[in-house]
Amino acid sequence: MTLDEIKEKIRGLHLGDAKQLDAIFTTEKRLLIEAPAGYGKTKTMVSKIAYMLASGSIPYPKRLLALTFSVNAAMKIKKDVTHQIPLILEGVKTDYTISEKILVSNYHGFARRLLKRSGYKLHPALINIDELKIIDDSKATYLLSNVNGLSYTSASILEKFNEEVKKINGTYIQNNLAAYNQVLINDFLSRGLLTYNGILTLAAKLLTDFEVVREFYRRLYTTVLVDEFQDTNVLSYLLLYYLIGANTQVILMGDDLQRIYGFIGAVPNLLTKAATQFGLTKISLDQNYRFKDNKQMLSLDQNIRRNAEQPRDPQITENATVDFNSYPDHATESAAIVDKCKYLISTDPDSHVAILVKQRGPNVVTIMGTFQAAGVPYFYGLFSDEDPKYVEFNRECLYEFFEQIKLKDQVTKKLLAAITVKLKAKYDITDPLYSSLFQLLAILFEKVFTDFSYLSNQEKKDLLIETLEGNGLKQYVEFINATVILTTVHGSKGLEWPYVILPDMEEQSFPNYYGLCGGCPYNNTCNLTVTDANEHKYLEELSVFYVAVTRARKQVYFTSSNTAINYKGEVVNRNISCLLKIKGIQILSSS
Ligand SMILES: Nc1ncnc2c1ncn2[C@@H]1O[C@H](COP(=O)(O)OP(=O)(O)OP(=O)(O)O)[C@@H](O)[C@H]1O
């Protein structure tokens, strides 16, 4: 097959989508592909890799490094690449097997590889990095009681560094990286310990301190592709920065509006910053395929994006109507939510409904109580990424995994079953939190032998280690069988369901006090005017709102309460959220 024939095949696959084809065929070596969810990003990425291989701009598959933030996202890319690239390149003669050699990894997984291979230059313990215990460095007190002989000064260096990573304080990180790494090298590695941040900081140190290592990787990976780039945190960015040499081809894909991970250190306006730093040419995909037959969702998606593009003067052509109902109080609102779920499930029995709350609190307790009283089962997914019990459960799973794999270095169903037995002896499975976590663990374990059965034993080990190490059990909420799923907007990122209900769409809730409401001069009406003073926070809230809305494949429903109990125990009136009053949204009540 000639290159022209492959081009023709790709044109056919993309049904003439000009922006996608431009992104695939461009000869620009440094590219930023702005791609909102559902705009065909995955399809474009797969065709682009195939075309680059066919045209020789990637000489061999192993010269491409594909990175992303979460393990689950890396696995999805790997699956697409493995299955689809050979189909596009069918009939093309190659002396390699395409799918096997492309390295698709999350940042931590890739950093582990670097350390496993060359980390001995920093400390011998890094050769066996899989045997090191990953310890949480968010609290100095925890560190002092868990790391024998650690000084208070060292524990404080770690705690502070971790805090500044979350605050995205680049200057602090630059100035204190060496001290942080030194504590790890002196006090942690010799004790068989490492931190989650340390996997990235030591990998970055390896690339900065050893030119030979840096040059090796820069020459090996002539093309670096990053997916979901907006979620790159400040330490992953550092790693990327050292990996990209003057001649590296760079393809970054992402969407700034879906960046809601500010609290774990994802850098604001990262796409724009990276575009300048790496000299990227930007191509924005502009066709929404996910909502192509759903006019209502399509215009809602579009209008929120337009508000983000020009917050003070969004260019709206047609209003999006949204289904919104307000109720006198939370109890009535919760009863209506339960009724809506029952209705949706009865009319669409294979369906799932996700109730996405902005935060935990009394309103959620009322919702849960109402579901229980009505006898409608739901999946409890309200733990946050930082919830100590959630984090500890992931750690415990990892510990048991290491205990079992030491006995027999083979990921088998029997081994995973043994881990579950050990864990069940440690936790109260009648507690809703642990019951949910065991369900998620069961899904992960099952996927190892279904969706991920094509992985090698080592890759299966990596998948399990990296998922648990990154507290990644939550990524499996999407596959939960329950018809009703109660989780947070942040926890829902990257997941989707047919129906989504967004409760609490009132002031002080979504947005909340820390979001926009605290100090807002428009409290009487909640008709927000975007100004220099509030634009940043407004865009942050709009991102969360956008992510929440676009989790729905078919429809999103909004509810609110007209009253709430304030911190003094008084009943107070609440306005409808300013987010439902942005230009381009027209609310319609269905009841
Ligand atoms: N040019 C196109 N022509 C026809 N269908 C397309 C085109 N681009 C994408 N699609 C289809 O639209 C759907 C979404 O595409 P894809 O999964 O690539 O998008 P995405 O941006 O990665 O979405 P998500 O973030 O939801 O995973 C898929 O079913 C895909 O096959």
Q: Is 349 annotated to bind ligand? A: no
Show Cβ contacts of residue 5 under 8 Å, excluding neighbours closer than 6 positions: none
* Nearest CA residue ID for atom 31, ligand 1: 43
Strands 103-106 and 64-68: parallel
Q: 73, 45 in Cβ contact below 8 A?
A: no
Q: 264, 385 in Cβ contact below 8 A?
A: yes
- Give distance in angstroms: CA of 482 to centre of ligand 1: 26
320 has pLDDT over 90: yes
Tell me, what amino acid is at 337? I
Show Cβ contacts of residue 385 under 8 Å, excluding neighbours closer than 6 positions: 264, 391, 471, 474, 490, 491
Tell me, what amino acid is at 126? L
Share of the chain above pLDDT 70, in %: 97
Nearest to 199 by CA among 297, 116, 301: 116
Show Cβ contacts of residue 329 under 8 Å, excluding neighbours closer than 6 positions: 561, 562, 563, 564
4 has pLDDT over 80: yes
Task: Classify each residue of 52-66 as buried b or exposed e, where b means 16 or more C-beta atoms within 10 Å of its C-beta.
Answer: bbbeeebeebebbbb
Q: Can you tell me the distance from the alpha carbon of 187 to that of 180, in angstroms, rounded to the nearest whole number? A: 11
Show Cβ contacts of residue 189 under 8 Å, excluding neighbours closer than 6 positions: 123, 125, 126, 132
Q: Average per-residue pLDDT in the chain?
A: 90
544 CB-contact burial (10 Å; exposed 0-12 / middle 13-18 / buried 19+): buried
- Give distance in angstroms: CA of 542 to centre of ligand 1: 24
Higher pLDDT pick, 136 / 207: 207
Rg of the chain over all Cα atoms, to the nearest angstrom: 24
Average of pLDDT values for 358-380? 93
pLDDT class of 559 with cuts at 50, 70, 90: very high
504 has pLDDT over 70: yes
Average of pLDDT values for 280-306? 93
98 has pLDDT over 70: no
Domain with CATH 3.40.50.300 in the chain: 3-109+207-284, 295-378+482-588
pLDDT class of 413 with cuts at 50, 70, 90: very high
Question: Ligand 1: which atom is nearest the Cα of residue 20?
Answer: 1
Q: What is the pLDDT of residue 442?
A: 97
Q: 325, 559 in Cβ contact below 8 A?
A: yes
Q: Can you tell me the distance from the alpha carbon of 169 to that of 265, in angstroms, rounded to the nearest whole number? A: 9
Tell me, what amino acid is at 108? H
- Give distance in angstroms: CA of 294 to centre of ligand 1: 15
Cβ of residue 494 lying under 6 Å from some atom of ligand 1: no
Residue from 11, 14, 43, 79 whose mutation best tests the ligand 1 pocket (most atoms within 8 A of CB): 43
Tell me, what amino acid is at 534? N
3 has pLDDT over 80: yes
Q: Can you tell me the distance from the alpha carbon of 76 to that of 103, in angstroms, rounded to the nearest whole number? A: 13
Q: Which H or E run includes 159?
A: helix 152-166
Q: What is the pLDDT of residue 493?
A: 78
Q: Can you tell me the distance from the alpha carbon of 391 to that of 393, in angstroms, rounded to the nearest whole number? A: 5
pTM (2 decimals)? 0.85
Q: What is the pLDDT of residue 74?
A: 81
Helix and strand counts by DSSP (H, E) for the chain: 21, 17
Dig out the tokens for 292 from the structure.
């192509």
Cβ of residue 42 lying under 6 Å from some atom of ligand 1: yes
Q: What is the pLDDT of residue 82?
A: 79
Per-residue pLDDT of 459-495, as tens digits, reads 899 889 888 887 889 888 888 889 999 999 988 877 8
The CATH architecture one would assign to domain 295-378+482-588 is 3-Layer(aba) Sandwich (3.40)
Q: Can you tell me the distance from the alpha carbon of 535 to that of 540, in angstroms, rounded to the nearest whole number? A: 9
Q: What is the pLDDT of residue 395?
A: 87
Q: 468, 431 in Cβ contact below 8 A?
A: no
SS3 (DSSP) at 62: helix
Per-residue pLDDT of 55-74, as tens digits, reads 999 988 899 999 988 777 78
pLDDT class of 264 with cuts at 50, 70, 90: low
99 has pLDDT over 60: no
Strands 571-573 and 563-565: antiparallel
pLDDT class of 223 with cuts at 50, 70, 90: very high
262 has pLDDT over 60: no
Higher pLDDT pick, 98 / 522: 522
Nearest to 436 by CA among 383, 398, 496, 387: 383
* Number of Cβ within a 10 Å radius of residue 448: 20
Q: What is the pLDDT of residue 206?
A: 97
- Give distance in angstroms: CA of 137 to centre of ligand 1: 39
CATH domain 3-109+207-284 topology = Rossmann fold (3.40.50)
Residue from 80, 85, 289 whose mutation best tests the ligand 1 pocket (most atoms within 8 A of CB): 289
147 has pLDDT over 90: no
